[in-house]
Amino acid sequence: MDAMSAALTTIYFGMPLWAWIAAGLAIVILIAMMVAVSISSKKRAKWDRAFYLRRADARWFADSLTLAVADRTKGTPELVRTWTDGVPRMSTLSQQLYELSTMAPSDKRARQPRQLATAVDNLRSALDADVRLRTQGTAPGQESVIAESAMVVAQRRRDLDQTLFALSS
C-alpha cells in the first residue's frame, strides 16, 4: 500500500478520509444549489409581481378607458381628450408586456404577456379606429360604419376579458 492510498483510507472519527471529502463536496454542491434556487425564486417572484401589475393595467384599460371612450354620449372634445390621455399608458403597457415576455423565467410565462399584449393592441387599434370615425364629421352611411365599429370594439374588449380570465386561472 503506497502513502497516498494509506492517507485516503486513514480513519477519522470512524470514517475514512475519502468519505469526509465526498461529504464535504456534497455539502458544497447542496449549498450552491440552494443559492441558485433562491436566486431563481426571487427573479420569478419579481417577474410575477411585474406581470400582475401589467394585468391590472390591462383590466383598467378594458373596464375604465374602453368604456369611457366607447361612451356614445360624449362630445367630440371630451372623447378626444379621454382617448389622447389614455393612449400613452396603453402604448407603455404594450411595450412593458413585450419586455416581460423576453425576461420570462419559462416558455409558458413568456407566452402569457405576449398573449395579453396582443389582446391589448387589438383593442387599442379598434378604439383608435372608432375614435377617428366618430371625430371625422358625418357622411352618408357613416352611422352604420360607426355602429359596426362599436361592435368591433365590444368584441375586442371581450377578447381582452377572456385573455385576462385565462391568465388568472
Q: Is residue 140 part of a domain?
A: yes
Instruction: Kindly report the pTM of this predicted structure.
Output: 0.77
Q: Is residue 101 part of a domain?
A: yes
pLDDT of amino acid 130: 94
The CATH code of the domain that includes 114 is 1.20.120
| Whole-number Cα distances in Å, 64 to 9, 68, 72, 112, 132 | 75, 6, 15, 22, 19
Write out the residue range of the structural domain in which residue 116 sits: 44-168
| Maximum pairwise Cα distance, the chain | 105
Q: Is residue 13 part of a domain?
A: no
pLDDT of amino acid 20: 78
Q: Please list the ranges in the chain whose pLDDT falls under 70.
A: 1-9
Q: Is residue 80 part of a domain?
A: yes
Phi-psi region of 146 (alpha: psi -120 to 50; beta: other; left: phi over 0): alpha
Q: Is residue 22 part of a domain?
A: no
What are the tens digits of pLDDT across the range 12-56? 777 788 787 888 898 998 988 988 787 778 888 999 999 999 999
The tally of domains found in the chain comes to 1
pLDDT of amino acid 2: 57
pLDDT of amino acid 3: 54
| DSSP SS3 for 10 | coil
Q: Is residue 23 part of a domain?
A: no
Q: Is residue 104 part of a domain?
A: yes
pLDDT of amino acid 8: 57
Q: Is residue 100 part of a domain?
A: yes
